[in-house]
Amino acid sequence: MEQYRTRPARHGPRRDGPGSSLPPQAKRGAGGAGSEAAGRRPAPASAGAAPTAGRLPNPRLTGLGSGLFSGVVMFLLGGVCAVLFGASLTAYGVLFLPVCVLTAVWVRRGDLMIAPVVVPIAFAVGLLPMADGDGGTGGRLMGLVTALATQAGWLYGGTLVAGLIVIVRRIRLVHRRRAAAAGSRPPG
């Protein structure tokens, strides 16, 4: 049986330069070959891991990955707050803000608009271990709704932070694309 292509073929050379859509991890080769293309010299062999020790992690999460990251982290933080802080919703709200920032910073460029969507869901998921409830599932659900209603300020604040970071990143991306397009046009 013959199989047909479902995607159109891409013509032209593969771009691995600074304007490439490849993540930074893919540009670095095992021997540092991709680092010359980005304008950086490879680290000397004698330096070992010293140059990489000062760098912060820079993962790029897909839309699903950012949802899983924020949901799992908030669930764990909700459990920690329930055990250590006696289910303090204020402590939980304070811990929610850095998760919002990390989610918005680490989401990849193609999935930018997902960050403000997944952080409120992660907030609700993280409240599950903290929700007060007596009387089974109905009581736990009412405790969750009550916690969401009373902590709406933290929820809106974290979502706003994630949204602002995403908007700034999107504006910078659009400006870079326009500058690259203007630089590639022939003068005339």
Query: For residue 22, what pLDDT is reported?
Result: 60
- Cα(157)–Cα(58) distance, integer angstroms: 24
36 and 75 share a domain?
A: no
Low-confidence ranges of the chain (pLDDT < 50): 30-42, 44, 46-49
Query: For residue 85, what pLDDT is reported?
Result: 86
Query: For residue 141, what pLDDT is reported?
Result: 87
Give pTM, 2 decimals: 0.66
168 and 92 share a domain?
A: yes
Q: Which of 141, 165, 161, 143 is nearest to 96 (CA)?
A: 161
Query: For residue 183, what pLDDT is reported?
Result: 81
* Residue-range definition of the domain harbouring residue 42: 26-53
Within-domain flag for 36 = yes
44-89 pLDDT tens trace: 454 444 555 677 677 888 889 999 999 999 999 999 998 998 888 8
Query: For residue 123, what pLDDT is reported?
Result: 95
Q: Burial of 175 by CB count in 10 Å (0-12 exposed, 13-18 middle, 19+ buried)?
A: exposed
Q: Which of 100, 126, 127, 125 is nearest to 115 (CA)?
A: 100
46 and 106 share a domain?
A: no
129 and 85 share a domain?
A: yes
Query: For residue 27, what pLDDT is reported?
Result: 58
Cβ contact 162:101 at 8 Å: yes
Within-domain flag for 42 = yes
Q: Burial of 85 by CB count in 10 Å (0-12 exposed, 13-18 middle, 19+ buried)?
A: middle
Q: How many domains does the chain have?
A: 2
